[in-house]
Amino acid sequence: MDVYERLISGYREFKANYLGEENREWLKVAGVRQDPKVMMVACSDSRVHPAILTRSALGELFMIRNVANVVPPFEKDHGEGTYHGTSAAIEFAVNHLHVEHIIVMGHSGCGGIQSLMDQSTVDDAQEFSFIRPWMKIVEQASEFTEHEKVTMSQQSRTCVCEKRAILISLNNLVSFPWVRDSIKEGKLKLHAWYFDIKSGNLSEYNLTKEEFEEVT
């Protein structure tokens, strides 16, 4: 069976089993409107699938997936011709769906972050890329002191960069006025997650300790 046929066969199984008797009642409600309590910002990476990772059902996660799970800062004065897909999804989730949690989930071995780490080797004259200006949003995450460059391995610097980038995105979330207001009113909580693909371990950012802690 080729890859595409496997998808169709997977769909048939989903229709027959998942949408069978046990979810009949749920379908009636979901057919009218969605009511997720959680928005997740995750990477497009095929190995980091939020619904599979959290065993979530249809209707539970309002998803944004983009390169390197980046949240841009709030920009009010954007002109015609600029596109803010991620910001539009945040607005919809907070103002219309009233989600109670927003989780930004980064991961190990992120291609977007790797492109940021390799930036010094990229020739500026190369043709236009959508990825480079997008990754510029979290560029600060890839800045290391000369001491760090000498004492830390390339691998640990990349890991630190991946985690810092999640926190920059979390910070950018707070720059959206309606996100800030909802947090102040106690209606919304923000979370930072980091998924290590090789071990399958998930870490959660502890705001008090200012570090990621493994979820056990």
Shortest gap between Cβ of 112 and Zn ion (angstroms)? 5
Q: Considering only 68-76, 77-85, 161-169, 177-185, which stretch makes contact with Zn ion by CB under 5 A?
A: 68-76
Residue of 38, 39, 42, 45 interacting with Zn ion (CB under 5 A): 45
Does residue 110 belong to the site contacting Zn ion (CB under 5 A)? yes
Provide the residue type at 68 as one letter.
A
Please, which residues have CB within 8 angstroms of residue 148's CB and are 6 or more apart in sequence?
Answer: 157
Instruction: Report how far apart, in Å, the C-alpha atoms of 129 and of each of 52, 74, 99, 122 are.
Output: 31, 22, 33, 11
Q: Considering only 17-25, 67-75, 125-133, 179-187, which stretch makes contact with Zn ion by CB under 5 A?
A: 67-75
CA distance 146 to 208: 28
Residue of 38, 41, 42, 43 interacting with Zn ion (CB under 5 A): 43
Shortest gap between Cβ of 12 and Zn ion (angstroms)? 30
Q: Considering only 37-45, 138-146, 167-175, 200-208, which stretch makes contact with Zn ion by CB under 5 A?
A: 37-45
Does residue 190 belong to the site contacting Zn ion (CB under 5 A)? no
User: Which run of H or E residues covers position 61?
Assistant: strand 61-66
Does residue 162 belong to the site contacting Zn ion (CB under 5 A)? no
Shortest gap between Cβ of 158 and Zn ion (angstroms)? 12
Total binding residues toward Zn ion, as defined by CB under 5 A = 4
The dihedrals phi and psi of 167, each to the nearest 5 degrees, come to -70, -30
Tokens, residue 125: 């004259």
Tokens, residue 200: 């399958």
Alpha helical stretches, state H, 118-186: 131-135, 146-151, 154-174, 177-184
Interface ranges with Zn ion (CB under 5 A): 43, 45, 68, 110
